Amino acid sequence: MRSLLFSAWFASVASAEGEATAVNPIRKVVTMLQVMQKKVEAEGEKEKELFDKFMCYCKTSGGDLAKSIMDADTKMPEVASAIAEAEASKSQTEEDLKKAQVDRSAAKTAMAEATAIRGKEAATFATLDNELKTNIAAIGKAVAALEKGAGGSFLQTEAANVLRKFVESKQDMLDIDREDLTAFLSGGSSYAPASGSITGILKQMGDTMSADLGDATKIEGDAIATYDQLMAAKTKEVDALTASIEEKTRRIGELGVSIVQMKNDLSDTEQSLIEDKKFAAELQKSCATKESEWAAICKTRSEELLALSDTIKILNDDDALELFKKTLPGSASFVQVQVTDKAVRERALNALKAGRSAQSSDQHRLEFIMLAIQGKKVGFDKVIKMIDNMVGLLGEEQLDDDHKKEYCEKQFDFADDKKKGLERTISQLESSIGSAKEGIATLTDEIAALTEGIVALDKQVADATEQRKEENSDYQTLMQQNAAAKDIMAFAKNRLNKFYNPKLYKAAASFLQVSMHKHLDAPPPAPETFGAYSKKSEDGNSVISMIDTLVKDLDTEMTEAETEEKLAQEEYEELMVDSANKRAADSKSITEKEAAKGDLEESLTEQTEEKTGTTKELFATLEYIQSLHAECDWLIKFFDVRKEARTGEIDSLKKAKAVLSGADFSLVQTRSQKFLNHH
């Protein structure tokens, strides 16, 4: 490129100097070389400046990239560790949640079982209490009747029937006592024992039953107290486990969202690190290439400058110049320029070239048990045990489903609440951002309007000032001209009075004479003509009167002008004060609005950043909800079907076990009589 420029330059020089080449062709060549030398040096300085800027860019950008890469290298293990820690914490929390759910279910089961047992015990005690109190009352009535000698009348009462039935059913009595009491209660005429013996037996029975009632009452009281303590403890345990389950459920949801966010952050950091390393490698390569190219350019430029310098030195030598004068004809100078042009172009081209570079899932278990039952080598005990194991397994699976369903529902509620809250926050931020942008635009327009108003006000003030100057100048001119006119008319009047009214004549003041001489040429002397002149006094006085009228008009005009000038000056000064006040108020308003605009812009930046962070958190929450759907939808959809199928299997297994155990569902027996017989 430089060779082309030199060629064009040489051609222009040759064309421009046409005829002058004959004067001193060698001197022209030296001048060209010196110009080339300066051009090369100037280009070197310019390229050095560009090279220094590029190297500064390499250093600055390289340092920034190195710091960014180092920060990313430091951040990624920390984020990965935080993810692993959060996942471990989530996994552990899920295990703790499952254990808490199992413990709560066990506690609720224990409470239900204890309540069932307590109900049975209370019913049994109520029956026993009623029977004992009825029998004790009957015995009391019998003893009272016997002691009063009214045994016969007692036998006619319902209490006697109750007592007779009790004696007949009581198995732990002595036969002789039973016979005596039975004979007495039957009212047979053949029996006449002593009433004291019967009374003693009845009192002993009453005492025994009273003691039994007391013992049963105490046992019932102790059972109630034990039950209340158990229920209080279990209720407290269930409440604590419920609170723990809710806290763990919330914690799992938060960890789930946090894990998604951290994974996204890790992915972004990894991508950024890859791009930074790629750019750093390209930058390093580019900077190294530029340094290499610069070294080659500097070397080539030094060689070129040296060549130019040596050539100039050779051509400038006195002996060479003297020789050239003798040997070079004037007509050959143009050719010499052409030869120099070619040599320089070839050298430049060589230098440039040298510097260039390159539904039931357990059906099979039922079938297995059926096969075991059909077989002849497997005993029922073993089959029953298999059934018990399967029932237990099905119960555990159902409990797992219950806990999983509870977990899923709570996680969906938590994630949905979080999503709605984040969407609400984003909506509020978008509204705030819109309001901030609108406020910034409004303030910008208001500031521009105020600024334009100040510019317009300044122009109005300048125009008013210029107008005031012109008006004042006109006033001054008017006053000066009117004063001069009055002086001239006074001079004229005095001059007329000298002729027409000598008594009124006043010697003209030297100032007026000078003034008149400055403004009026002396009239030429009147030629001699006619005889004595008759004064026209009447006309002269009329002129003098007219002069007086004109002077009065001038005085009036000057008075009016003075008044108008005073009013105009006052209005101008008032306008200047008002304008200054308005300008100060508008300037203050601009300052306040710019401050408010700055606050809005800062708030807009903060709200935009907050919206970006909240949007990222919302995306993470949505990803977590999607993962929950993948984990829970199938279970929730088929929960009732699975539970119904599992319940049917358990019922079938229990019926099979009952059949294998020899149960007969046609017989239903109560335990009340056994309880009574036991006591």
Check whether 56 has a pLDDT greater than 80: yes
Q: How far apart are CA 563 and CA 572, in angstroms?
A: 14
Domain boundaries, the chain: 103-237, 365-441+605-660, 455-519+537-590
H helices, E strands: number in the chain: 13, 0
pLDDT of residue 380: 63
Q: How far apart are CA 535 and CA 174, in angstroms?
A: 195
Residue 428: pLDDT band with limits 50, 70, 90: very high
Residue 498, classified by CB atoms within 10 Å of its CB into exposed (0-12), middle (13-18) or buried (19+), is middle
Radius of gyration from C-alpha coordinates of the chain: 64
Q: Which of 132, 233, 152 is nearest to 198 (CA)?
A: 152
Which helix (DSSP H) or strand (DSSP E) does residue 188 occupy? none
Lowest mean pLDDT among 240-244, 327-331, 350-354, 591-595: 350-354
User: DSSP assignment of 37-103, as one string?
Assistant: HHHHHHHHHHHHHHHHHHHHHHHHHHHHHHHHHHHHHHHHHHHHHHHHHHHHHHHHHHHHHHHHHHH
Tokens found for residue 329:
């004809």
Q: Which of 321, 330, 324 is nearest to 22 (CA)?
A: 330
Residue 425, classified by CB atoms within 10 Å of its CB into exposed (0-12), middle (13-18) or buried (19+), is middle
Chain segment 373-400, per-residue pLDDT in tens: 655 555 667 767 877 888 888 888 889 8
Check whether 189 has a pLDDT greater than 50: no
Percent of the chain with pLDDT over 90: 19
User: DSSP assignment of 263-279, as one string?
Assistant: HHHHHHHHHHHHHHHHH
Give the amino acid at 431. S
Residue 201, classified by CB atoms within 10 Å of its CB into exposed (0-12), middle (13-18) or buried (19+), is buried
Check whether 337 has a pLDDT greater than 50: no
User: DSSP assignment of 114-131, as one string?
Assistant: HHHHHHHHHHHHHHHHHH
φ/ψ bin of 378: left (φ > 0), alpha (ψ from -120 to 50), beta (otherwise): beta
pLDDT of residue 375: 57
Q: Which of 42, 44, 29 is nearest to 311 (CA)?
A: 29
Which helix (DSSP H) or strand (DSSP E) does residue 155 occupy? none
Question: Max alpha carbon distance in the chain (Å)?
Answer: 216
Chain segment 545-583, per-residue pLDDT in tens: 777 788 888 889 889 999 999 999 998 899 889 999 988
Q: How far apart are CA 402 and CA 404, in angstroms?
A: 5
Q: How far apart are CA 205 and CA 337, in angstroms?
A: 158
Check whether 36 has a pLDDT greater than 50: yes
pLDDT (mean) for 621-640 = 88
Q: How far apart are CA 31 and CA 485, in angstroms?
A: 76
Check whether 678 has a pLDDT greater than 50: no
